[in-house]
Amino acid sequence: MFFKKKKITASAERNIPTHIAIIMDGNGRWAKKRSMPRTAGHAAGSKKFKEIARYCNKIGVKYLTVYAFSTENWRRPKEEVDAIMNIFRDYLQDSANFKSENIMLKFIGDRSGMPQDIAELMAQAEYDSKDATGLKVYMAINYGGRDELVHAVRDIVKEGISPEEITEDTISSHIYTKDYPDPELIIRPSGEYRLSNFLIWQSAYSEFWFSNVLWPDFSPEDLDRAIDDFNLRNRRFGGV
């Protein structure tokens, strides 16, 4: 008797992570390789986000969190920041981007730091998509993991919760992601092996998957590879 090595494919029965988080990195290098301005890389990155969100929805991922703009990204040249803001505006104004896909859209991050009109578009998009029953997309905009914890601690203090009462659950229920589970799989393309202040509390037990592919070149097949590798991991959560 022999055992056949179990082959996992996109179509075979496999465990689809409930929550996947992606650091959409490599837009600038993608553009540079093509002698294009960095802003063209971000436009391509935005297109790629739509494609991957659609694919996640199709294969039954429940939550997708994407790192779109960090609290540190304001340090980039004004021209680049303005271009990224315009990409957000275009995306949010085109509500078909999420409505027709049955995708719920929410934002995590400090929206008080966003231009007023974009903050309003974000609120509108959340309202418009609130009844969607498909994939829930959480877009991290003006997001930083440390900043998130600072806000959580401030809120806990303001609520008068005493030090003895504070547990891990207290923190988890005061961070931006309080309404949804921690990511099981975090993907970072573009050959960087850092978390860059993304979901630092939530990633305590996440599986990490890295690839050299630049984000605008990332494909549904790459996502399948990440999920296949995830299926081969042995998650023990500190046990044996």
Of the residues 61, 64, 84, 121, which one makes contact with ligand FPP according to CB under 6 A = 84
Of the residues 18, 73, 196, 197, which one makes contact with ligand FPP according to CB under 6 A = 73
Applying CB under 6 A, does 45 fall inside the site for ligand FPP?
A: yes
Of 167, 100, 150, whose CA–CA distance to 129 is shortest? 100
What is the per-residue binding string for ligand FPP in 200-239, x denoting contact by CB under 6 A?
----------------------------------------
| The residue type at 198 | F
**In b/e form, how buried is each residue of 105-122, taking b as 16+ CB within 10 angstroms?**
bbbbbbbeebeeebbebb
* Residues 6 or more apart whose Cβ sits within 8 Å of residue 202: 21, 175, 177, 182, 183
Measure the CA–CA gap between 164 and 181, rounded to whole angstroms.
25
Positions 165 through 204 that interact with ligand FPP (CB under 6 A) = 190
Applying CB under 6 A, does 28 fall inside the site for ligand FPP?
A: yes
Copy the structure tokens of residue 67: 């790192």
Applying CB under 6 A, does 87 fall inside the site for ligand FPP?
A: yes
Site of interaction with ligand FPP (CB under 6 A): 24-29, 42, 45-46, 49, 68-69, 73, 84, 87-88, 91, 139, 190
